[in-house]
Amino acid sequence: MIPVRGFDGANVAVLGLGRSGLSAARALRAGGAEAICWDDNQAARDRAVGEGFIVTDLSKNDAFQGVARLIVSPGIPHLYPEPNRIIAAAQAAGVPVDNDIGLFFASLGLGEWDQFDVTPKVVAVTGSNGKSTTSALIHHILCEAGREAQLAGNIGRGVLDIDPPGEGGVIVLELSSYQTELARSLTPDIAVFTNLTPDHLDRHGGIGGYFAAKRRLFAEGGPDRAIIGVDEIEGRFLAGQMMESSGDERVIRISAGQKLNGGWTVTARKGFLAETRKGRQIASIDLREISGLPGSHNHQNACAAYAVTRSLGLAPRLIEDALHSFAGLPHRSQLVAEIDGVKYVNDSKATNADSAAKALAAFGKIRWICGGLEKEGGIGGAAQHLDNVVKSYVIGREAATFALLLKDHPHSICTTMAEAVKQAAADAQPGETVLLAPAAASFDQYNSFETRGDDFIQQVQRLSA
C-alpha cells in the first residue's frame, strides 16, 4: 500500500466505494487521515462499514463542514454532462476535489527514495485505444528482463494498493481520461499517448475536452520523456508542443504506418518495427509472426512499449525476445480456439468504431459478431473494413436498429451471443475467423465488456464440447 501523505488528522471524504474508492479510503487511513465514505449502493456502504470506515450521506446539508478534500471515483461525472450533486455540493463549499491518481502522485516517494542508487520510475500510459495492451506489454518486457515492475491503474491493481517500489523499480500505470482529467498531481517520469479517437464525448463536452483530459498528463506532469503516437492530428500537435526542436530526444514519436523524419522515432511499417535515432536506424524487429500482437493496431502498441523500455535502458534484442513471449490480454484480439480450421477471436474490448475497425483490419475473411449499446457516430470507421467481412451477426437488445448501420452488407439479426456464435460457426469455412468486435458498449445486455467476452468464450467452448 502507498499511504496517503499530507492529511494526517484531517477528514477526507470519499465518494464511490468500488475498487479505487475503497483503496483510497484504506490508504488515507494508513496515512493518518479519517476517511468519510459514501456510495449510493447499499452493498458498497456495507463493505465500508465492515472495514471500520465512517459512512455518511454526503448529500446532506453541511456534510462538507470540516472536510479537507473530496476524493471521487473515476466513473462519477464532475463537470459534464453535469456534475454529480455531491461533487457540486463540495465545490459550492469550497472543498477541493481529487481522485486516487492525484493522491498517488502526491504521496509516492517523498524523501524515502534518497536511499536508492537507482530511483524508481513511473510510466503512465493514456490514449483512446491500446493503452491496456501497451501497459501490460511494458510490464511484461520489464519482468522478462528481470526488472522489478508493478502494473496498476485501469489494469492490474489500484494505484494505492501497490507495494512501495524498491531499488530501480518501475510502476506502469494505465490511465483513462476520467482519471487524468481530475487528478491534481500528475508527475510521471515517462508519459505515453497512444492515439485519439472519439469516445466518452458526453463526459468531456466534446472531442476537444476529451483531448484536453489526455493532454493534462503531459502539460501538467512535465514528464522527463514523452512517447507520442502521431498517426492522428492531436498526437502530432502534442508532440510539437512537447519538443524544443526537431532533434529533441525527450520526445519519441511513434507510428504504425508513417515514415517519420528527425529526432528519435519508432515506427512499424509492413510488419517491421524500426528504431531510428539521429537519422540512423538502430534496430529492427519482425512483428508479423508475434502471435500475441496481431494487426497494425497492436504493432503501434509494440512501438510504444519498445520506446518506453528502450528509454529505461533495455537492449533491443532483449525487448524482441520478450515480445515473442507476450500472450496478449483477455478480450483484446484474444484467440479463443481454432475449430475445424476456423479461428474464434474475442475482441470484446472493441467498444467503439475505431477499435473495431482495427480488429477488422487485422484479420481476413471475417464472420463479424457486432452490436450492443450504440455509441455516438455508430460504426463509423469500421464500415470501411467491411470488405474483410463475409457476413455480420448482430447482437444486442436493439440488434435490428444496429443492423440498419450495415445497410446492404450481408448480416443476420441474432440478438443473443449464443445465437450469433451458433450461426457464425455453422456458416464459417476453413480459413475464416469468427470475430467478436462489437463496436458498441456492452451495457444493454452485460455489466461489462469482460462479461460479454466471457459469454463469447463459453459459447465457443460449447462448440467443441
Q: What cell does 192 get? A: 505515453
In angstroms, what CA-CA distances link 85 with 6, 89, 179, 335? Answer: 27, 6, 19, 44
**DSSP-derived 3-state class of residue 103:** helix
Q: Is 218 exposed, middle or buried (0-12, 13-18, 19+ CB in 10 A)?
A: buried
> Is residue 259 a known part of a binding site?
no
- Provide the strand spans (E) within 214-358: 225-229, 251-255, 264-269, 272-277, 280-286, 334-339, 342-346
Other CB atoms within a 10 A radius of the CB of residue 284 amount to: 13
CA 90 to chain centre: 29
Are 122 and 192 spatial neighbours (Cβ–Cβ below 8 Å)? no
Give the largest Cα separation in the chain, rounded.
Answer: 67
> Is residue 153 a known part of a binding site?
no
> Is residue 130 a known part of a binding site?
yes
β-partners of residue 339 are 342
CA distance 11 to 196: 38
In angstroms, what CA-CA distances link 74 with 19, 100, 220? Answer: 10, 9, 19
In angstroms, what CA-CA distances link 97 with 59, 83, 94, 194, 431? Answer: 15, 12, 9, 27, 53
> Is residue 372 a known part of a binding site?
no
CA distance 206 to 112: 41
> Is residue 133 a known part of a binding site?
yes
CA distance 43 to 28: 21
Compute the CA torsion angle 183, 184, 190, 193 (nearest 10 deg): 50
- State yes or no: cis peptide before 81, omega within 30 of 0: yes
> Is residue 132 a known part of a binding site?
yes
> Is residue 214 a known part of a binding site?
no
Compute the CA torsion angle 199, 364, 194, 328 (nearest 10 deg): 110
Are 220 and 399 spatial neighbours (Cβ–Cβ below 8 Å)? no
- Nearest residue to 128 (alpha-carbon basis) of 63, 201, 237, 55: 201
DSSP 163: P
Binding site for ATP, residues? 127-133
Binding site, residues? 127-133
